């Protein structure tokens, strides 16, 4: 009887080991299948993102051109030059100034337009199309339109306002005008995101609040704004990242002028890389842009996390 019990236990133990081995074999097979499925993506990701990023970082320690040829190892000389380069810091300030002129205003205007569009029931499709249409235009078309509108000799702006201002050739007006054009171009995208967020708020909440005597201001501050906060953070974060990477509008409208009053980080990097063929220093500027965007995104993440923690 004891021998039978012992053999039964050995058989059960062998069965358990066989099942465990079978599960491990299935997991290994699934892992291999998953790896084969994502292998094309990993190859493309490595070739077109990881390798270029490593290459750019290596270029910051050389005096090579953009292709990496003809340069010697210079250590931290490019970073030292960056710290003491007044035009670099001017481009940093111009970039931050542009972000201040565009990120928050375009978010606020997008929210306002979304609220108005949802109130215009019959004309909603028309106004939604009108606000979103500029966003689908190429940036070259947008800048061409506004370069003509702001032209000091033949532009419509001076005719309407009865002025004679060289909007894009004036150091005081050039950057605000580039920011205005950018807001006009981008605000439709923000409006669509806010409309999506507003439509997800249950209408029953508004009806119950109105029955309690809440007015429009109280409805916005107590219902709309708290429930729309995640969408607002998303829109604002996207605008921050996009506006820190400003290049096309400045390059096409002002070329960084007048007197470098609108030169921004990416344009300064472009000038170093393609005009002065200083790839090592251009790569150093690109690393600084990456760090700036990374720090900004981290601050945004911390603010959003602290808000979620306080709500909990």
Give the global pTM. 0.83
DSSP state of 120: -
SS3 222: helix
Cα–Cα distance measured from residue 103 to residue 283, given in angstroms and rounded to the nearest whole number: 26
Residue 241, SS3? Answer: helix
More confident: 244 or 19? 244
CA distance 187 to 112: 10
Does domain 86-311 fall under CATH 1.10.3720.10? My reply is yes
Tell me what pLDDT residue 10 has.
Answer: 54
**Arithmetic mean of pLDDT, 277-296:** 90
Task: Spell out the domain ranges in the chain.
Answer: 86-311
- pLDDT at residue number 6: 57
For the stretch 222-259, pLDDT in tens is 888 888 988 998 899 889 889 988 999 999 999 988 88
- What average pLDDT does range 39-47 have in this prediction? 86
Instruction: Tell me what pLDDT residue 125 has.
Output: 82
Would the pLDDT of 15 be above 80? no
Least confident span in 1-15, 66-80, 103-117:
1-15
Cβ neighbours, 10 Å, residue 98 = 23
DSSP code per residue over 249-297: HHHHHTTT-STTTT--HHHHHHIIIIIS--HHHHHHHHHHHHHHHHHHH
pLDDT of residue 141: 93
pLDDT band at 22 (very low <50, low <70, confident <90, very high): low
The full 3-state SS of 144-205, as one line of letters, equals: HHHHHHCCCCCCHHHHHHCCCCCCCCCCCCHHHHHHHHHHHHHHHHHHHHHHHHHHCCCHHH
pLDDT value of position 93: 95
| Tens digits of residue pLDDT in 120-139 | 877 788 888 888 889 999 99
258 preceded by a cis bond (ω within 30 of 0): yes
More confident residue, 211 or 11: 211
Q: What is the mean pLDDT of the chain?
A: 85
Contact 113, 191 (CB under 8 A): yes
By the 8 A CB rule, do 111 and 187 touch? Answer: no
With a pLDDT cut of 70, the percent of the chain lying above it is: 89
Q: What pLDDT, in 10s, does the model give residues 134-179?
A: 999 999 999 999 999 999 888 888 888 888 888 999 899 999 999 9
What average pLDDT does the segment 268-273 reach?
A: 92
Average pLDDT for residues 100-104, to the nearest whole number? Answer: 94
pLDDT of residue 138: 92
Query: 64: burial class by Cβ within 10 Å (0-12, 13-18, 19+)?
Result: buried
Distance of CA 280 to the CA centre of its chain: 25
Residue among 290, 246, 237 nearest 266 (CA): 246
């Amino acid at each position: 009887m004891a021998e039978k019990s012992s053999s039964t236990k050995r058989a059960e133990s062998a069965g358990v080991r066989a099942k465990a081995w079978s599960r491990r074999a299935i997991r290994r097979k699934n892992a291999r299948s998953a790896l084969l499925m994502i292998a094309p993506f990993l190859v493309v990701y490595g070739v077109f993102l990881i390798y270029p990023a490593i290459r750019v970082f290596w270029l910051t320690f050389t005096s090579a051109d953009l292709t990496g040829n003809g340069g010697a190892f210079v250590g931290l000389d490019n970073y030292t030059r960056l710290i003491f380069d007044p035009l670099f810091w001017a481009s940093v300030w111009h970039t931050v100034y542009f972000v201040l002129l565009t990120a928050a205003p375009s978010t606020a205007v997008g929210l306002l337009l979304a609220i108005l569009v949802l109130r215009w029931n019959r004309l909603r499709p028309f106004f939604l199309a009108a606000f979103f249409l500029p966003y689908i235009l190429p940036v070259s078309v947008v800048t061409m339109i506004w370069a003509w509108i702001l032209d000091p000799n033949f532009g419509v702006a001076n005719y309407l306002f009865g002025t004679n201002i060289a909007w894009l050739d004036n150091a005081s007006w050039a950057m605000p005008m580039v920011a205005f054009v950018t807001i006009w171009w981008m605000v439709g995208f923000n409006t669509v995101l806010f409309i999506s967020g507003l439509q997800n708020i249950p209408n029953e909440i508004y009806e119950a609040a109105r029955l309690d005597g809440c007015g429009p201001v109280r409805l916005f501050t107590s219902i709309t704004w708290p429930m729309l906060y995640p969408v607002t953070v998303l829109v604002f974060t996207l605008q921050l990242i996009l506006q820190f990477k400003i290049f096309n509008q400045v390059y096409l409208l002002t070329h960084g002028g007048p007197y470098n009053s609108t030169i921004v980080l990416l344009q300064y990097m472009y000038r170093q890389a393609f005009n002065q063929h200083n790839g090592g220093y251009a790569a150093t500027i690109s690393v600084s842009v990456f760090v700036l965007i990374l720090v900004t995104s981290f601050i945004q993440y911390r603010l959003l996390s602290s808000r979620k923690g306080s709500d909990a």
